[in-house]
């Protein structure tokens, strides 16, 4: 089983490098239909864009399909990486839990491109990650919106900056929770009024209709953009107000020169400082994640081992039947007795392999199952 993951993440790329990568389903299907992969699943989160796949027998991924900045993981390393992603251990906001819902949405969206192995990998990983988080997580989880909230504390108007939140999707909802927890009043605007009004009411914020959100640029100290707009929403600001821009869009939401703009990319160095002590409390979780990855990898390879084992034993059965019938014709002995004797000999020879239960046994069963071998 040639399991692979191409990871383009906040550590090896900028948001612009990840925008649009592995999103077009037609292009993805070309990688399956006669392409190098037999299964694949892309995931897109705030911090990363990744492609998980099973390389088809006798195929290789063409080099021009692999981004130059991508980290390439294979085998057990892919399993451990996925568990670490689901546990937030690979996130900029280490230990965060928001990533789980993002990955699940991607799995639901692209699962038709998966086969038996990737379905099993992701379903088991969701389950294991939930158990590990419950048992070993220290109990407090930062997030990208939380880190953005810490950045607001540097604003000259702190502790009473005027804040406007543009967007009420998943990221906007999480941001509203952070702002409410920090005791900061703010306004909300969203393209879909029902969703935006609901969030504003829940967070105790002011609701601003979408057609009026640009008015907030003249009255706000901080504008937080949490939309999924495929193009910038703001290209100019009337008047002399120069608000801070906190931009959580995968594609930059603001193109106004001269404004202080804090994006996910700009948070990287600050995050290392803020969360340095917190990371040390994740040590036990990381140890258990490594153990869980080894167990899950063994489980995945055992599935393939069982397949090769069945093929090998079927081939042994054909050989036993053939030899028993041939010998019975030559000697006149009972074919059934000869078959039982032959099976006893075959099982005796194979007994060391039959008792093995490790990922390495897959190679042995595969060799025994191949037709050209005697």
Residues that are catalytic: 46
Length of the chain: 374
The response to whether 348 counts as a known ligand-binding position is no
Alpha helices in 165-245 (DSSP H): 170-181, 193-203
The response to whether 167 counts as a known ligand-binding position is yes
- Residue 56 is classified by DSSP as P
Give the number of other Cβ atoms within 10 Å of residue 310's Cβ. 12
- Rounded CA separation 86/101 (Å): 9
The response to whether 168 counts as a known ligand-binding position is yes
Q: Return the HEC string of 1-15.
A: CCEEEEEEECCCCCH
Tokens of 62: 């063409």
DSSP string, 86-118: HTTTTSSSTT-SHHHHHHHHHHHHHGGG--HHH
The response to whether 47 counts as a known ligand-binding position is yes
The response to whether 171 counts as a known ligand-binding position is yes
The response to whether 114 counts as a known ligand-binding position is no
The response to whether 102 counts as a known ligand-binding position is yes
Rounding to the nearest 10 degrees, give the CA dihedral for residues 275, 144, 94, 202: 100
The response to whether 172 counts as a known ligand-binding position is yes
Q: List the binding residues for substrate.
A: 45-48, 91, 102
Q: List the binding residues for NADP(+).
A: 167-172
Q: List the binding residues.
A: 45-48, 91, 102, 167-172
């Amino acid at each position: 089983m040639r399991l692979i993951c191409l990871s383009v993440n906040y550590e090896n790329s900028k948001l612009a490098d990840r925008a649009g990568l592995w999103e077009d389903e037609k292009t993805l299907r070309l990688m399956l239909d006669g392409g190098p992969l037999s299964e694949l699943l892309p995931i897109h989160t705030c911090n990363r864009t990744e492609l998980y796949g099973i390389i088809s027998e006798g195929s290789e991924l063409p080099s021009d399909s692999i981004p130059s900045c991508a980290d390439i993981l294979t085998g057990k390393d892919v399993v451990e990486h996925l568990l670490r992603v689901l546990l937030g251990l690979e996130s900029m906001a280490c230990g965060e839990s928001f990533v789980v819902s993002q990955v699940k949405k991607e799995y639901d969206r692209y699962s038709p491109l998966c086969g038996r192995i990737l379905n099993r990998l992701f379903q088991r990983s969701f389950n294991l990650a939930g158990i590990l988080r419950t048992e070993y997580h220290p109990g407090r989880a930062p997030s990208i919106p939380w880190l953005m909230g810490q950045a607001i504390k540097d604003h000259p108007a702190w502790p009473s900056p005027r804040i406007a939140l543009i967007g009420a999707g998943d990221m906007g909802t999480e941001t509203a929770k952070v702002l409410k927890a920090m005791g900061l009043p703010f306004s909300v605007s969203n393209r879909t009024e029902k969703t935006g009004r609901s969030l504003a009411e829940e967070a105790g914020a002011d609701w601003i209709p979408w057609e009026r959100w640009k008015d907030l640029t003249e009255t706000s100290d901080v504008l937080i953009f949490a939309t999924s707009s495929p193009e910038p929403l703001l290209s100019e600001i009337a008047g002399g107000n120069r608000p801070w821009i906190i931009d959580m869009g995968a594609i930059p939401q603001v193109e106004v020169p001269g404004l202080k703009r804090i994006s996910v990319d700009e948070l990287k160095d600050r995050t290392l400082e803020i969360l340095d002590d917190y990371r040390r409390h994740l040590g036990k979780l990381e140890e258990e994640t490594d153990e869980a990855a080894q167990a899950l990898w063994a489980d995945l390879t055992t599935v393939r081992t069982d397949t090769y084992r069945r093929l090998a034993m079927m081939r042994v059965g054909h050989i036993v039947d053939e030899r028993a019938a041939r010998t019975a014709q030559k000697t006149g002995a009972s074919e059934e007795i000869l078959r039982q004797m032959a099976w006893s000999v075959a099982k005796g020879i194979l007994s060391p392999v039959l008792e093995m239960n490790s990922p390495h046994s897959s190679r042995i069963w595969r060799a025994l199952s191949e037709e050209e071998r005697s």
